[in-house]
Amino acid sequence: MADIEIRNLHASVDGKEILRGVNLEVSAGEVHALMGPNGSGKSTLANVIMGHPAYEVTEGSITFLGEDITEASPDERSRAGVFMAFQYPVSVPGVTVTKFLRSVMNAHREARGEEAISLKEFRQTVEAAMELTKVPKEFSSRYLNEGFSGGEKKRMEILQLALQQPRLAVLDETDSGLDIDALQTVAEGVNAVAGEQGDKMGILIITHYQRILSLVKPTHVHVLYKGRIVKEGGPEIVTQLEAKGYGWIEEEVGASA
């Protein structure tokens, strides 16, 4: 049984069906890339996996570690070990990075029946994670995402990933809006966390472009088109998309989709 099993998933927003029967399985130790043209439903799938209330699941199911989480709250999913890095991270004025990270960490510890983390242990853990993901130390005292550049926000997401050590990490367009240096840093951060977590974490990396996939190498590739996965395979699909673009997918499945 895979860690996450998505079966015949249909989801709507404002009564409009966006996902039209998605099947997807991801397990720890695997890196899955979900690709697809703009508007194909990639972020919708990420949001539905995370339990965003704006999206209604009308058919199908999501099972995580053997439990049906189709109706679970985002908080329950997070505590169960699903992590999501957002395409557009929000700013939290007045809350420092340190304070935010500590409250998230303590919420997870509480869920596991553990005591709140001591200040000393927290400092050590965060410092190690910052080093691993190359987040500068002075970030700790800044307000979360306030005035952060696109690249800095994405790096913060990867820092949270390193701290949370989820079973499944969903990274939605972690590469969007990044210049090549920022992309490199973020990709290195993802790889560093993946290397440290090894077979304990699965990754679902969502992207329109193939460039991050030359840095974070997928083991499985899925192409979403008009709310359905229309092509699946290994990394060779990334190369094919690079050469032929999405028009190729459209031509192949367009008539039936």
Ligand X SMILES: Nc1ncnc2c1ncn2[C@@H]1O[C@H](COP(=O)(O)OP(=O)(O)O)[C@@H](O)[C@H]1O
Of 18, 33, 43, 194, which one interacts with Mg ion (CB under 5 A)?
A: 43
Q: At its nearest, how many Å lie between Mg ion and the CB of residue 2?
A: 24
C-alpha–C-alpha distance, residues 52 and 29, integer Å? 26
| Of the candidates 231, 197, 204, 237, the residue with the CA atom closest to the CA atom of residue 85 | 204
Residues of this chain, 31-60, that bind ligand X according to CB under 6 A: 36, 38-44, 54
Q: Tokens representing 70?
A: 């189709």
Q: At its nearest, how many Å lie between ligand X and the CB of residue 16?
A: 7
Whichever of 1 and 90 has its CB closer to ligand X, that residue is 90
Q: At its nearest, how many Å lie between ligand X and the CB of residue 79?
A: 24
DSSP calls for 213-255: GGTS--SEEEEEETTEEEEEESTHHHHHHHHHTTHHHHHHHTT
CB under 5 to 8 A by kind: which of ligand X, Mg ion, none does 107 bind?
Answer: none
C-alpha–C-alpha distance, residues 76 and 141, integer Å? 29
Binding track, positions 116-155, relative to Mg ion; x by CB under 5 A: ----------------------------------------
Whichever of 43 and 160 has its CB closer to Mg ion, that residue is 43
Q: Is 78 in the site for ligand X (CB under 6 A)?
A: no
Q: For binding to ligand X (CB under 6 A), which residues are involved?
A: 13-14, 18, 36, 38-44, 54
